[in-house]
Structure 1
Amino acid sequence: MNPNLPSTNVNYYRSALKRFLAFFISFLACLALNAQTIQKGIVIDAKSRQPLQGATVSVVGQPELSSVSDAAGAFQIRTNESLSTINVSYIGYKTMAYEVQPGKPLVAALQGDMVNLRDVVLSQGIGQQKFNSLAKVDLDLRPVKTTQELMRIVPGLFVAQHAGGGKAEQIFLRGFDCDHGTDIAVSVDGMPVNMVSHAHGQGYADAHFVIPETIKNIDYGTGPYYAQQGNLNTAGYVGFSTYDNISNNLIQVEAGRFNTIRLLTLADLLKKNKDRQSAYIAAEANYSDGPTINPQNFNRVNIFAKYNQAISNNTRLSLSVSGFKSKWDASGQIPERAVNNGTIDRFGSIDPSEGGNTERYNANLLITANLSNGYTLTNQLYYTRNIFNLYSNFTFFLNDPVNGDEINQGEKRHLVGYTSKLARQRFYTNTMVSTQYGIGFRYDATKNSFLSNVVKRRFLNYIKSGDINEGNFYAYVQKQLSLGKFLLDGGLRIDHLNFNYHDRLSSIQSPGRSRTIVSPKLNIQYTVDPTFQLYVKTGKGFHSNDSRVVVANRGKEILPAAYGADLGINLKPIKQVFINIAAYYLYLEQEFIYVGDEGIVEPGGKTRRYGLDVIARWQFTNALFANANLNLSKGRSIGEPKGADYIPLAPDLTSTGGIYYKKKTGLNGGLSYRFIKDRPANEDNSIIAKGYFILDGAINYTRPKYEVGLAFENLLNEKWNEAQFATQSRLLNEPASVDELNFTPGTPLFFRAKLAIFF
């Protein structure tokens, strides 16, 4: 210090320096606080007062600052200053702007509006959620009446029905013939649809207990990249979610060709205080003779009820119950030679005694609590009772030239499961960390899962009969870090499965088997700007083998793994256009082929697939939309000679799309198409499953109190094969068997009219 300065000046400068340092430190602290301003809130439907999951929350002028509301509608978002404005948007709702109010939770009550593609946003904080938004757009534009149509909402997913509309559809996705669910996990409100070690196929996923009008959104993903998804999630997963409540009562009548009729009703049971409690019930009845010469006599009855209650300000309860019963006759698969030589008509039958009946009853309880430490805890308990009975004849007189080869498959199953999820979002400096922990189990107890020989539905003898007990215990952790323009998503899942089978036809029993598998996941997303996004997905998944095969094979090949990777881009060149392009690779340690008439799961060996998926959505005007999906895939068996390494029925080129005109009132309608290319039906490509192009259409006139409409399927009246298989069969009095294409005919031109009344 300068000794020539007076002491009073020294004290003055010292005091001034202290004040300056205090001010500077306070200024920096304010900057830090401003940089770390956290706005919390909840997004709800203004009319129903129910939370909206998947709403996008973003800071105006700073698209890199964004968040997504969770299952309880809650969100947290970081802003750079306390005077920021945030936008809250959700598909089918008006976008709202709110001023940030630090320390005061925001309640964003959104008003319903027309669907708009501008609400599908690209930002660093939003990953898989954008595809859920696309599904909501598609679902709003294409109101569906069957579970087949629901499944077709998923880009790249094809379905085929080949038992008179009564059993689960055959599913195709990403170069997989998933059979009835072997390589795709399906759920409704978090409750599994798939039935492991089922009498008719591994992962059997019969979703016909779903009433389409109760579905508010469809969550889907391709590949084994998601920690929340476990067994059977190799090609992908589909998760349906139902409305928590409804705004209007509905009575609807539909009638169409082939003596088709459908009755539907939805009733709102609690109209007041919907932010505290709500309840509704839905019911439908269906009947159709179908296009076949022998009437299908198909009938199905569904009922669904859901109740929601706010137990406290931080805890919500949701309880749903449903019941489903179906019965039908089927004309079955028919051989090409029988049609070509005039033995039967294309819509005829070799064995008209096929068909069956099935029932499913569900109870699903969820309790969601927002804890004081910022965590959200969700506990779910579900129970299913399933009854299944099916008569089929694939080979006619190949094995038994006297009685024929008709078989009967059946089972009665109890399924119980529990899942607990703990989730939280936190900010560390400029990094948002989303964490989710999960544990759970499912237990399947099946009594008398059987396969028997029958003649015209009359029992002859058992081929297989036994009791199956299978348990799946699992735990997972998922971490998502938002780092500037990067979004890092990592997960680890552990599954432990127990398999037990009691053979009723044998005095010697094999011991149960168990196995554990660990499945890591890592996904990285980079947002260049609001119009361009890159991502890489990697992960390991698995599908389990049938318990009967596991026990018989002494635990070998229990849990073959699937290893996959995606490289993709998301584009929004303009606000009304969204494009996704993804290249993928998938290696499967063991392909499973279910041979129903033999009662076995046949190993298909190692396989690999690679391909390209393209998703495109356009909005030309406020009311005119178009979409297109293109899916290319090449799949081959590993270790087989070239030319004999085809994967039977694996699609290599599919496309779906359409154009739609949608307004709240007045005329609405659209045209949609689906295309699948010819593909190999057997390993050496000597038998071809024929491709097809189908065009559907619909037109409706909507008013606030009613709606009338007309829907068409197969407008061009194409002759097409729905389900197709390379099958060795023998007809009555044929000297030898023939290996050729067997198929079920696709529906010809079909139309139905509807009248809906809202009140």
Structure 2
Amino acid sequence: MKTILSILCCLCISLSAYAHLGNLTGTVYDQTNNRPLQGVTVRLTGLNRATITNEAGQYRFDNLVASAYKLELSHVGFATQIVDVTVQNDQTTTLRTGMNVAPVALSEVVISSGRPHDQQLISNLDIKLRPITNSQEVLRLVPGLFIGQHAGGGKAEQLFLRGFDLDHGTDIGLTVDGMPVNMVSHAHGQGYADLHFVIPELIEGVDFKKGPYRADKGNFVTAGWADFRTRTTLDRSFVKLEGGQFDTFRAVAGVDLLGKARRSGSNDRRPQSAYLASEYSFSNAYFDSPQRFNRFNLMGKYHGHIGAGTTLTLTGSTFWSRWNHSGQIPDRAVASGQIGFFGAIDPTEGGETDRTNLNAQFLTVTPGNNVFKNSFFYSNYGFELYSNFTFFARDSVNGDQIRQRERRNLFGYTGSYTHETYLGKIRLTTTVGAQYRHDLTGGRVPTELSYTRNRTETLERVQYGDIDELNAALYADEQIQFSDRLTLNAGLRVDYFRNIYTDRLPQPATVGRARQAIVSPKLNLYYTANPRLQLYLNTGKGFHSNDTRVVVPQGGREILPGAYGADAGVIFKPVPRLLVNAAAWYLWLDQEFVYVGDEGVVEPGGRSRRQGVDVSVRYQITNRTNGANLYADLDLNTARPRAVGVESGQNYLPLAPVLTSIGGLSLQTESGFSGSLRYRYMADRPANEDYSIVAKGYFVTDLQANYTRKNYSLGLSVQNLLNTRWKETQFATESRLLNEAAPVNEIHFTPGTPFFARLSLTLFF
């Protein structure tokens, strides 16, 4: 008892010593538009203490001895600021600091020890340097993420990452401004993620992380996650016109509705902003059969203060797309001359989709820097797709065309509370959160899989019913900064699913129900030796849910397979203009049941194991404050994906990438010229379990060149600069052509883009 009393006395004396120290808090903003800057590194020079600004651009240092200090503020794409400040005992000193846009300088990038779990160094660099020319480029901002389009530009892309053939999103969680993109129990495939409702010119940044290591990320987050952030304000209104080969046209416009004076605010008026933007695209594409691709986007956004510490962001958008496509064609049809490389077996394939979104985000920061985040979202979504993968294998007369269709309402809520405190010199950052998501399909348009002919006649319904799926989650996250070097992050997440399926095929309709929950722990450790070197170990459990049409027949059993991952990595700057992020990783997936949306059947997926190495390098070749700056980047990703419990040689995972690389050169000049020359490479990979069929690799280069002046910008975009003949998506499929005696199992592919040039003109006003 005496020992305990002694310890308590010492603790009280220690805490009382800190009671008379001072505090420093501040806000950092962009001087161009008065917008708060998130992710700014703020360092107390000489003390080796650093932190990162939050969503409101705010930071805080507690327990400072009364003295004069120098603050160093650095952020990618902004000039470094040095601020002198004096802190008094028992007082909180408040600062407000503006930062000016400047050429990207890798020498100013600082590896922070304050919030290492939230660092986005690679992301911030890439968004500043890489031109985004179309919706597909949005996804390529995630290092190592490959995409493949195989339905005329309107269907969501096929995704590949960390030894996964992700289909259209089974094992990567995608969000836009916190709103989920992945569709659970989708008519075409689980996790279907269509990002085409995002206008590329409105992307402000992308936060991402590979692996299941964040407590606030739940369903589909096994290979990783990415959250795309759209612009809060438009610096200037603009109109952009594009034209190119293959009857390609595009028009984009963004209008600032309130003007610079309202964005900047005044003594009696807090800053606020609002804009409206729209996009229209048309292309016949490079296929022999015209694709007649049409897409329309409309988006509006408002951002303003509704209280002393509360901001409101309202976003509304609507999207519509319609297209024809040539589908996946078999090697033998091209080799025999039956069709050309860009031909089609069934030219009546195609689809139509739409999505309307409403998103309300509230951010409250208290005087003590506690942060409340609340977000409410709603989406109305429609999808109709006609495909023919096997041609005449099932029906030698009418063909094997299928229709997949649904109409969905999606609504939900995400909220969190973050509190920061000190226990002596130990900084504790505690976050608790709640999430809710509800998906409803059916009504006049149930979730459907049917056999059809010529996109007009329904031959047979295979699946036809209503889906009611609910996902509720609670999580807690604790970040403990023991010292200026050592930080521990621990989290725990609990997800609950309730699934209801109303099968309309039998009469009367039948209703099935199931429910299940899963617990996902996380543990991450960061050691920051200095502002140039950080070592980290990420570990955690994640999962992806399975389709309701699988969950209900299974009675809720074995339908939330766990994914167990670990990353051991390093972020370092061996020289001021070189940044390297490297990690060795491992991921294990439990047994799962997979709903094959194209056939309406259930297949056991089995267990799997993946391991590999990711390397990302960013280097500034030149460093001129006035003149040309040349940058180089390289992403190299290896993986060894294998099925577990299967005989060696029969345990390959079909289409899983084993070696990929993306890289290039980017140029920025003071005279207005900018551009990039980029490549992407995917090595050969197995197309089936025994590697007897090979999905051929490819190497493709792209070019972007821009010339920008105060009131206008000219651009040239060239995809596949060397006019390489390549296969963008490939599948080992058993199909039968008309008049063939028996089906043949071989590679079916969608041809990749040939040389494709586009010109653009952007006017600013």
What residue in structure 2 maps to residue 49 of structure 1? 34
Compute the displacement of 1:47 (Å): 2.2
CA distance in 2: counterparts of 1:282 and 1:120, whole angstroms: 33
Partner of 1:8: none
User: Separation in 2 of the partners of 1:599 and 1:483?
Assistant: 53
TM-score, scaled to structure 2: 0.93
SS in 1 for 2:520: strand
Aligned to 1:452: 450
2:661 alignment partner in structure 1: 655
* 1:124 and 2:113 are equivalent in the alignment: yes
Quote how far apart the aligned CAs of 1:28 are.
Answer: 10
Q: Distance in 1 between matches of 2:354 and 2:380?
A: 8
Residue type matched to 1:183 in 2?
A: D
Where do residues 357-506 of structure 1 align in structure 2 (5 Å cutoff)? 357-372=352-367, 374-447=369-442, 448-458=446-456, 459-484=458-483, 485-506=485-506
Match of 1:297 among 292, 299, 310: 292
SS at match of 1:511: strand
Decide whether the 8 Å contact of 1:397 with 1:729 is kept in 2.
Answer: yes
Q: Is the 8 A contact 1:76 1:425 kept in 2?
A: no
Shift, 1:304, TM fit: 0.8
Query: Is the partner of 1:150 in helix, strand or coil?
Result: helix
What residue identity is the alignment partner of 2:107? R
The answer to whether the Cα contact below 8 Å between 2:681 and 2:698 also exists between their aligned partners in 1 is yes
Instruction: Give the Cα–Cα distance (whole angstroms) in 1 for the partners of residues 172 and 587 of structure 2.
Output: 14
Where 1:290 maps in the other structure, the secondary structure is: coil
Query: Shift of residue 510 of structure 1?
Result: 4.7
Q: Distance in 1 between matches of 2:533 and 2:371?
A: 32
Taking the TM superposition and a 5 Å limit, the aligned residue runs for 1:182-197 are: 182-197=170-185
1:152 partnered with 2:140? yes
The worse-fitting range, judged by mean Cα deviation, of 525-534 and 490-499 is: 525-534
> Is the aligned partner of 1:38 residue 2:23?
yes
Partner AA of 1:221 in structure 2 = K
- Partners of 1:629 and 1:656 within 8 A in 2: yes
SS at match of 1:61: coil
- State the alpha-carbon separation in 2 of the partners of residues 380 and 595 from structure 1: 33
Please, which runs of 5 or more residues in structure 1 have no aligned partner?
1-26
What is the TM-score with the length of structure 1 in the denominator?
0.94
Q: Partners of 2:594 and 2:743 in 1: how far apart?
A: 22
Contact preservation (8 Å) 2:232, 2:303: yes
Per-residue deviation, 1:427: 2.3
In structure 2, the CA distance between the partners of 1:61 and 1:689, relative to structure 1 (3 Å rule), is: same
Which aligned pairs between 1:15-414 and structure 2 lie closer than 5 A?
32=18, 36-63=21-48, 65-78=49-62, 79=64, 81-102=66-87, 103-130=92-119, 132-271=120-259, 272-274=261-263, 275=265, 276-372=271-367, 374-414=369-409
Work out the CA distance in 2 between the residues paired with 1:101 and 1:478.
Answer: 33
Deviation at 1:530, TM superposition (A): 2.2
Tell me by how many angstroms 1:547 deviates: 0.2
Post-superposition, which runs of at least 4 consecutive aligned residues in structure 1 deviate over 4 A? 27-34, 78-81, 591-594
State the shift of 1:508 in Å.
6.1
Q: Deviations over 1:119-166 (max 9, x none)?
A: 431132131443x23222212211212221111111000000000000
Equivalent position of 2:580 in the other structure: 579
Does the 8 Å CA contact 1:433/1:480 hold for their aligned counterparts? yes
Partner of 2:7: none
What is the CA–CA distance in structure 2 between the aligned matches of 1:741 and 1:429, rounded to whole Å?
63
Matched residue type, 2:395: D
CA distance in 2, matches of 1:651, 1:439: 35
1:716 aligns with 2:686: no
d(CA) in 2 for partners of 1:430 and 1:631? 39
Q: What letter corresponds to residue 288 of structure 1 in structure 2?
A: S
What letter is aligned with 1:292?
Answer: F
SS of the residue aligned with 1:167?
A: coil
**RMSD of Structure 2 on Structure 1 (CA):** 1.6
Gaps of at least 5 residues in structure 2 are 1-12, 266-270, 624-628
Q: What is the rounded CA distance, in whole Å, between the counterparts of 2:431 and 2:102 in structure 1?
A: 32
State the secondary structure of the residue aligned to 1:286. Answer: strand
DSSP 3-state at the match of 1:137 = helix
Q: CA deviation at 1:337?
A: 0.4
CA contact (8 A) 2:131 2:704 kept: no
Report if aligned partners of 2:139, 2:145 keep a CA contact under 8 Å in 1.
yes
- C-alpha distance after superposition, 1:162-218 (max 9, x if no partner): 000001111101000111000000000000000000000000000100001111100
Amino acid at match of 1:94: A
- Corresponding residue number in structure 2 for 1:560: 561
In the alignment, which residue of structure 2 is the partner of 1:23?
none
Structure 1 residues 227 and 664, CA, compared in 2 at 3 Å: closer, same or farther?
A: farther
Structure with the greater alpha carbon radius of gyration: 1
Deviations 1:453-505 (CA, angstroms, capped at 9, x unpaired): 11000222211100000000001011111111101111000100101100000
1:71 counterpart letter in structure 2: E
- For residues 185 and 724 of structure 1, do their structure 2 counterparts lie closer, same or farther at Cα, with a shift above 3 Å needed? same
Identity %: 47
**Do the aligned partners of residues 81 and 739 (structure 1) sit closer, same or farther apart at CA in structure 2, a change above 3 Å counting?**
farther
- Aligned counterpart, 2:708: 702
- CA offset digits 1:288-319 (Å, max 9, x no partner): 11110000000100011100111122111000
For 1:429 and 1:620, locate their aligned partners in 2 and report how far apart those are by CA, in whole Å.
Answer: 44
